[in-house]
Homo-oligomer: A and B are copies of this chain.
Amino acid sequence: MEGGEVTAVDGVRPDDGTRGAAPTPLRVALLGCGVVGSQVARLLREQHDDLAARVGAPLDLVGIAVRDVDVPREGVDPALLTTDAEGLVARADIVVEVIGGLEPARSLLLRAIGCGASVVTANKALLAEDGPTLYAAADAAGVDVYFEAAVAGAIPIVRPVRESLAGDRVRRIVGIVNGTTNYVLDQMATERLDLDAAVAQAQALGYAEADPTADVEGYDAAAKAAILASLAFHMRVPLEDVHREGITAITAEDVTWAASTGHVVKLLAIAERTDDGVSVRVHPALVPTTHPLSGVRGAFNAVFVEAESAGELMFYGRGAGGAPTASAVLGDVVSAARNRVLGGRGPVESSYADLPVLPASAALTRYQVRIDVVDRPGVLAQVAAALADHGVSIEAVRQSLAAGPGDAEVAHLVMTTHSATDAALAATVEAVAGLDAVLAVRSVLRVEGN
């Protein structure tokens, strides 16, 4: 918890009219405590007050179902651990499932829904295999099923497709939705490795499993493609209808030739609507280097969407990993919780944070400064000293000669600074401008994005 942010008391938004009457906490149950689950538990604890303010009621983690309570888990209160998952889901308002696989995840989620809980899951295999059963059960029980984390980790793609684009017609979705294969193909291209060497490297770095089949054969991407197609086209897409080819046939030669013809090789999940129906498929493909998807590197994911009115959209970010996936799970927990607290209303504007807005002069930034100087020995040293006097250090400097007025030689200096406050940089530029050897400050521009 960072201090001073939350002005709410006991999780009550200061302006929600319920001050005094403490709202009933929502009971959150967590199924699974692996890479993702432990991060979900951590965030629920560390951000307890922030989340309470955003929801309008505290979110209390009431238990974590695990197979073995005696395995030590860093940062997790052992008193929360239980092996009685069935008992746990019966006493929760929101059940978060991060076990993965079909069973016992499916039975536990159906039981949770049957007990009136809303559920949040990151389980792509289950949703692709048997999502409609879950949705129908939730529909009948009048509770929510959220699954933002199931398709592309931290990247919000489920919510945009099923809500933001709900008034549009999606024509085509093309996604890089498997970080492992993207990393492998990327290494083949940049390090000129063959497939086996690149997979071995991904395994050594923890990006690929000991058995990489689910990734390299495209099973993971196929499950995500089925989910995306279902959302985009408002229909059921059985997993067995997804055409699937992995990357195992891709050679180093393919990748080299791709580059020489202006392409990169990517494993794509494609869901496409034609006049005759929909096509859902996963296969490697050449993507032109001019296409936004071609720049998606390493373990990142991206999903490109073409809709009739919206045109082209792209969503980019981390598609896996404990903290990124937990971020998506928590967003879903907040949505489910808001639905319970606000009863049918959209999220209210939560203006609960009390932070000062700083003047621009306080912003940390970098400058690129271009100046004309007299071309004589020692001038660069003089300019550098003026910067150092103001505590500003130079990251790079570049000099070129130009014809000056009359016969004098004029040097053009392009200096890029390290980070400093805008105020310090502005003062520095003024000092530099005042030097005898400086003929003109041609340009001062901030540098962002490093």
Contact = CB atoms under 8 A, between A and B. Distances in A.
Contact of A311 (B285, B324, B370): B324
Given A357-B237, A368-B286, A331 B164 contact: yes
B154 A156 contact: no
B345 A342 contact: no
Given A263-B447, A443-B254, A449-B287, A142 B345 contact: yes
Contacts of A291: 449-450
Interface stretch (A61-69, A208-216, A227-235): A227-235
Interface string A67-78: 000000000000
A335 B318 CA distance: 27
Given A156-B165, A279-B358, A280-B357, 13 more contacts: A51-B167, A54-B166, A138-B348, A155-B313, A156-B159, A166-B334, A168-B330, A235-B353, A254-B370, A254-B443, A279-B357, A309-B326, A313-B318
A205 interface: no
Contact of A414 (B261, B280, B287, B333): B261
A165 B331 contact: yes
B277 A355 contact: yes
A304 B149 CA distance: 19
Interface in A131-170: 131-132, 135-136, 138-139, 142-146, 148, 154-156, 159-160, 162-169
* Most B CB within 10 A of own CB, among A168, A251, A370, A396: A168
Contact of A333 (B167, B233, B368): B167
Interface stretch (A101-109, A264-272, A430-438): A264-272
Top 4 closest A-B pairs, CB basis?
A: A167-B330, A243-B360, A344-B344, A156-B164
B277 A358 contact: yes
11 contacts: A47-B167, A138-B348, A156-B160, A168-B327, A168-B331, A174-B449, A276-B362, A277-B356, A279-B363, A285-B447, A308-B327
A354 B235 contact: yes
B356 A445 contact: no
B144 A345 contact: yes
A363 B167 contact: no
A281 B360 contact: yes
Contacts of A295: 292, 295
Contacts of A315: 313-316
Nearest to A352: B234
A272 B445 CA distance: 19
* Most B CB within 10 A of own CB, among A235, A281, A450: A235
A98 interface: no
A359 interface: yes
A118 B357 CA distance: 31
Interface string A422-450: 00000000000000000000110111111
Given A292-B295, A351-B230, A327 B167 contact: yes
A378 B77 CA distance: 76
B311 A318 contact: yes
A253 interface: yes
A449 B172 CA distance: 11
A196 interface: no
A213 to B, nearest CB: 20
A131 B348 CA distance: 12
A139 B357 contact: no
Given A169-B47, A356-B276, A370-B257, A349 B446 contact: no
Contact of A327 (B268, B274, B310): B310
Contacts of A287: 447-449
Contacts of A399: none
A283 interface: yes
A398 interface: yes
A45 B336 CA distance: 32
A258 B131 CA distance: 50
A135 B348 contact: yes
A174 B355 CA distance: 19
